[in-house]
Amino acid sequence: MDATPQAFDRVLSSMCTRPHPAAARAAQRFLADNPGDPATYPDVAALEEHVLDALGTVTGLADPAGYVAGGGTEANMQAVRAARDLTASDDPVVVAPTSVHFSFQKAADVLDVNLRLVPTDDDYRADPDAVAAAVDDDTALVVGVAGTTEFGRVDPIPELAAIAREAGTRFHVDAAWGGFHLPFTDHAWHFGHAPVDTLTIDPHKVGRAPIPAGGFLARDDATLDALAVETPYLETTSQATLAGTRSGAGVAGAAAALDAQWPDEYRENHERATANATYLAENLRDRGYDVVTPELPLVAFDLPEATFDAVRADGWRLSRTGSGEARVVCMPHVTRAMLEAFLDTLDTARVG
């Protein structure tokens, strides 16, 4: 079958992007290496340690435990799994805001835990009072999101961490998308800012690593020990990952992406994306659209269904939030020229 990879010049919906050229080259070299078997593939295992160290630097934790996961879904699932296995409750509950990524529904389903979703405040962030009221003796994990999928909101991480600590439960931060923007903001979001037990940060999103490269980080080794199973047929004796065989390309690509971009290129990307989000929000408002003021560079706005459909029919990849707003994610491939062309399309679609 003849197929063409997706061009990025009209993609506004995705949380993935073109990999950094150095990352793409590195990935190509490690296509056959399996970091799931580190004793057989020591070089890619060393690269994975390097990625962990680098992600620790980004997230304020020296020498983190963790690994390069398949993506944010796997990392979130592992956070829930560790919490389930470390709690004393027979009927564990995960307390999270309604803005949490749907991967937590999958985790709850697969791991047979209860997901208790708590309404967000009027500005789409977790509401600490509501979260505190939802936590009980069965709560195994409280989740905060640092960069929500639909509105790019950053939850009040220190407040949520304090609630979890007070209740004696674990605390997880999902920074899968936001993690490569937040270091260049004033937000308190990581291990260095609050008692965070586990954290998701995905190199294959804003980090510009090739897919698959998710990041699962834990403050202490006990988390990984809780996840580990014995692995008799491998050269190593235990494995804490969810997947068995994993992508050497993802690991090597993440290492190269971090080496090439941390911190200067990531900062430049953050500044460019933020300027683009502000530009888009202002230009939409000028045209009379109702816009949710961006916090991280993601712009959600009301768009009539007919216009949404016309824009999509013109080749733009645009998606909607659960409550119906159109959302534009200002990823590294999204340029000012793209946004100008998008606004032109909107204008035409509207007139038509």
Q: Which is nearer to ligand PLP, 101 or 187 (CB)?
A: 101
Closest CB 60 distance from ligand PLP, rounded Å: 19
Separation between Cα atoms, residue 111 and residue 7, nearest integer Å: 37
Phi, psi of 340 (to 5 degrees): -65, -45
Per 3-state DSSP, the chain is made up of helix, strand and coil in percentages (nearest 5) of 40, 15, 45
The number of residues in the chain equals 352
In this chain, which stretch among 68-76, 221-229, 317-325, 332-340 interacts with ligand PLP, using CB under 6 A?
68-76
Q: Which of 103, 169, 223, 247 binds ligand PLP (CB under 6 A)?
A: 103
Query: Residues 54, 59, 65, CA angle at the centre, nearest 5°?
Result: 65
Q: Pairing state of beta strands 214-218 and 65-69?
A: antiparallel
Separation between Cα atoms, residue 219 and residue 208, nearest integer Å: 24
Distances in Å between the Cα of 69 and the Cα atoms of 22, 62, 121, 197 are 20, 19, 31, 17
Q: Which is nearer to ligand PLP, 76 or 276 (CB)?
A: 76
Q: Which is nearer to ligand PLP, 101 or 246 (CB)?
A: 101
Q: Which of 81, 101, 187, 208 binds ligand PLP (CB under 6 A)?
A: 101
Q: Does 250 bind ligand PLP (CB under 6 A)?
A: no
Within positions 4 to 33, which residues make up the interface with ligand PLP, using CB under 6 A?
15
Closest CB 72 distance from ligand PLP, rounded Å: 3
Within positions 133 to 192, which residues make up the interface with ligand PLP, using CB under 6 A?
145, 149, 174, 176-177
Q: How many residues bind ligand PLP (CB under 6 A)?
A: 14
Placement of tokens 């990849």 in the chain: 317
Closest CB 147 distance from ligand PLP, rounded Å: 6
User: Which residue type is seen at 84?
Assistant: R
Q: Which is nearer to ligand PLP, 206 or 349 (CB)?
A: 206
Distances in Å between the Cα of 61 and the Cα atoms of 22, 52, 112, 139, 265 are 26, 10, 31, 25, 21
Separation between Cα atoms, residue 352 and residue 350, nearest integer Å: 5
CB-CB neighbours of 228 under 10 Å: 14
Closest CB 87 distance from ligand PLP, rounded Å: 22
Q: Which of 35, 36, 56, 72 binds ligand PLP (CB under 6 A)?
A: 72
Give me the residues that bind ligand PLP (CB under 6 A), please. Answer: 15, 71-73, 76, 101, 103, 145, 149, 174, 176-177, 202, 214
